[in-house]
Amino acid sequence: MAKDKGITVKKDEDMPEWYSQVILKSELADYSPVKGCLVMRPYSYAIWQKLMDFFNELIFSVGVENAYFPMFIPESLFAKESEHAKGFAPEVAWVEKKEEHEERLALRPTSETIMYDSYAKWIRSYRDLPLIINLWCNIIRWEVKDVKPFLRSREFLWQEGHCVYETQEELHKETLQYLEFYRQVAEDLLAVPVIKGEKTEKERFAGADNTYTIESFMPDGKALQMGTSHDLSQGFAKSFNIEYLGRDEKFHAPWQNSWGISTRMIGAMVMMHGDDKGLVLPPKAAPIPVVIVPIIFEDTKKKVLAKAKEIQKATKGKLDDRDHYSAGWKFNQWEMKGVPIRIEIGPKDVEKDQCMLVRRDTGEKVPVALKDIKKTVSDTLETMQKDMLDKARKKMESMIDSSDNWEDFQKKTKDKMVRVKFCGEPECEENIKAETGGVTSRCQPLEGADPTGKCFKCGKEAKMDMYFSRNY
Ligand SMILES: [Zn+2]
């Protein structure tokens, strides 16, 4: 942020402008010369790295292995599953062929087709199952409107997992298990509360029998889809001739799922927790959880720095002893970058064998005896992680409502997420979207859904208990 002042707009007055200023001034990301493509600066990549570590630990615990596949997909492979090809067609960027005998190559918008071509070669018998592979890679979705850093861009980073199973029961159980892992990433790492649910037919992944989702609701009244897990049933297996010799000595089509989360998670975290001073990072996701800022005067410099170094050692924090910036300037910078705990120590504190501890989320400032600093910091980080999730959950719950009639629904969905009884018909859903100018179905909650009653819009028999809202 160099010489720039802080953020010049208030979050609740102009969220889009607030968001882009926070992203740039906290040095998370920068724009690039390529339209719709983002530069992830080291600060956001460090958060992504933490997310990768957290998620890898979860998936390794159930036997997932990471691999890599090419980003180019020959057109003939891409077109093999017709629903999938149709669904993604508008978003695909192509590399045109150089020679007559060659094929056009799609830049992967997702990797099902390139991976399942290999899966067809690798899977021979039930002994090869389950096959469970995850990719950390980049993705291209060329036709992106309304580009927004981390939330929507032409190229982004994600992970995509692709599993093959012997039975449908195993498929169903594991598809939900990966959704649960996503909930843990969102809530336990990023402190962003989510609803686990099931998509309508219209909002499903192209080629899937069912799509499960975690949805969060942002403070500006729009939902954000944070991660999805797709039940692909046997459709891709049949299109790609994936077969295995079963325990009964006969050939069968296996059952498949795919699941993904992306750098969009970072955007959700920024929007959910940030304030008028900048980012507010939950401790577990913060590249720098603790910063120590000594208050330097020439005559006491040595004493203060010595104590600051002791604190640094005890807390494993970052010591900001740059002497060409004032303490006040440093406070602003670390607040902008959302560092969870700031420790200040000046000559008067040294005399009292204490330091000042400041929480970024609440601004609360308390003196702490130097002998207690290690424990106090670790306890505060833990409390803060929990408090941030609780606060966000309360905020989200206050923005969720229900409705049983069309007029009321139209009013409430201006800035709320609204739960209704819904018929599930794609045509009814299309009408809702068109007549409201963009309200879409988000999900039917996995827990506590009660689909009995009449559709709030068309009056037909309801088949779902559905959340609707505007969305990113
Ligand atoms: Zn209806």
Q: Tens of pLDDT along 299-310?
A: 999 999 999 999
Taking CA atoms, 238 is separated from 80, 106, 167, in Å, by 10, 22, 15
Whole-number Å distance, alpha carbon 445 to ligand 1 midpoint, is 18
Whole-number Å distance, alpha carbon 451 to ligand 1 midpoint, is 12
Q: Does domain 284-383 have CATH number 3.30.450.20?
A: no
Give the dihedral of Cα atoms 120, 124, 125, 131; nearest 10 deg.
-50
Residues that place a CB less than 5 A from ion ligand 1: 423, 428, 455, 457-458
Whole-number Å distance, alpha carbon 419 to ligand 1 midpoint, is 14
Amino acid at 429: E
Q: Where are the alpha helices (DSSP H) in 110-154?
A: 112-122
Q: How far apart are CA 311 and CA 346, in angstroms?
A: 13
Token look-up 């179905």 returns 441
Mean pLDDT, to the nearest integer, of 264-286? 98
pLDDT, tens digit, 9 for 90 and up, residues 352-410: 999 999 999 999 999 999 999 999 999 999 999 999 999 999 999 999 999 999 999 99
pLDDT, tens digit, 9 for 90 and up, residues 174-195: 999 999 999 999 999 999 999 9
Cα within 13 Å of Cα(238), Cβ side: 9
Whole-number Å distance, alpha carbon 405 to ligand 1 midpoint, is 11
Beta strand 318-319 pairing with 290-294: parallel
SS3 431: helix
Top-level CATH class of 400-469? alpha beta
Q: pLDDT: is 345 or 82 the higher one?
A: 345
pLDDT of 3 strictly over 80: no
Domain boundaries along the sequence of the chain: 15-273, 284-383, 400-469
Say yes or no: do domains 284-383 and 400-469 share a fold.
no
Q: Taking a C-beta distance cutoff of 8 angstroms, is the pair 345, 356 a contact?
A: yes
Q: State what percent of residues in the chain have pLDDT above 70.
A: 99
Which residues, in sequence order, are CB contacts of 83 under 8 Å at separation 6+? 206, 207, 235
Structure confidence at residue 14 as a pLDDT band (50, 70, 90): very high
Model's pTM, two decimal places?
A: 0.95
Fold of 15-273: BirA Bifunctional Protein; domain 2 (3.30.930)
